[in-house]
Amino acid sequence: MIGPETTREKISGVRIFFLILIPLGLFLISLFIGRYPLSPGDIMKALGEVLLFRGFNVPKTVYTILFKIRFPRTMTAMLIGAALSVSGASFQGMFRNPLVSPDVLGVSSAAGFGAALAILASGNAAVIQIAAFAFGITGVILTYGISRIYKSTPVLMLVLSGVVVSAFFSALISATKFMADPYEKLPAITFWLMGSLSGTTMEDMLAVLPAIATGLTGLMLVRWRLNVLVMGDEEARSLGIRTEILKGIIIFCATIVTAASVCVSGMVGWVGLVIPHVGRMLVGPDHKVLLPSSAVLGASYLLIIDTVARTAISSEIPLGILTAVIGAPFFAYLIRKTKGGWR
């Protein structure tokens, strides 16, 4: 006989199967869509030429659009969406708070100031990415250092310290914009802060891939301990979990993941806040399943957003605008539907 547990496991397995298929389908569809539409035949020939090392007489224009523009941008969008979603789900579990997002510890504001400073100083893309990543890490180090009380790190102090650091670097961003040239530097800073994957290259994706892969791997390895940490520090310690070390691992991994994402895409909000809630609605609160599901959902979501951003109108729409316009009402709907619950 098939019991209710077996039925639930089958339903969960079907959901996970479709969650895996969705980003693959969206990835292929996004390669066709753009200002210069490509046919399935063009895509298959180009892929065959690269993967099978055969000459299919692919036009140079098709090859350039596919592998120099769309492929790296699509892969980067999926990578950043997965990174922000897993980071948000991990922080929500660690802080036991459904309103926590990846930038709760000040990483986005600090990275934004680093990028604004680099744009003001040089404007070189590599310098901007390095400065954003370095300042993002620095911001979280400041937050963690401020929150340390009596050799412990209370959750409330982490949140309050993050608010302080975020406000401080937000003020520095405003000061940088105030000093910037209003005709060249200020528009560049403003556009970067709104978030965009315009001009993303394969080199950009490969540059952040090691950091994101390392952070995601670390979070995936400790995801079962998050289930224990959600019950509270005292309960976790009674079960043999060294909570301070675990929090440090989660903060470190989520920080490098978020900082690496921000240094390429700019400040893209709402992804790490909303997507984990969608994951809980689909697969439940178990972080062993929730984190991989959040990665898949986040990759699919940001890929859709980026595809709309580059094709909806003649000019590029900043990602931050679309994620806020879509994410805020949807989050309000989730609050109404779940009645404030999140498990």
User: pLDDT by residue (tens digit) across 223-234?
Assistant: 988 888 887 777
Instruction: State the Cα–Cα distance between residues 335 and 195, nearest whole angstrom.
Output: 26
Q: What is the pLDDT of residue 1?
A: 42
CB distance 306 to 197 below 8 Å? yes
* pLDDT tens per residue, range 36-46: 877 777 777 77
Q: What is the pLDDT of residue 214?
A: 96
Residues of the chain with pLDDT under 50: 1-5, 7-8, 11
Q: What is the pLDDT of residue 187?
A: 92
3-state secondary structure at position 339: coil
Q: What is the pLDDT of residue 60?
A: 79
Closest C-alpha to 125, from 211, 203, 209: 203
Dihedral of CA atoms 230, 235, 241, 245 in degrees, nearest 10, equals 60
